[in-house]
Structure 1
């Protein structure tokens, strides 16, 4: 990580609250990945969207972008 040796990761779930405060004090932006759990048909995982956004966030973090923990938008059930 280039901007601070005190912050150990770009993924917020790997940081303490003090680490996140240090990032916020610098005015840096973080990505908030939002996914969902929903049915995409019987052939796909219900967590496809969540898995995808979590992986995109991990790739962004590897490239120096701060990322918050992935958040679920809603849960959909088949009626």
Structure 2
């Protein structure tokens, strides 16, 4: 795993469950429409961010390595 990750939320998929916010509160927030947003587009690689992506009920969170663009979550293949 790289040291920095690019984190994105697919707003067309996000259902606003808030699970990401409760799992990684410093990394995600919900807007007034209850859509998730990463607090920072690029962040340090942390287990809480990966756990939030893995726990998202609709897999709306996408994580890639910031330097290479390689997929972290969802895993390729």
TM-score bracket for the superposition, by shorter chain length:
under 0.3
Larger radius of gyration: 1
Higher helix share: 1
TM-score, normalised to structure 1, is: 0.27
Higher strand share: 2
TM-score, normalised to structure 2, is: 0.27
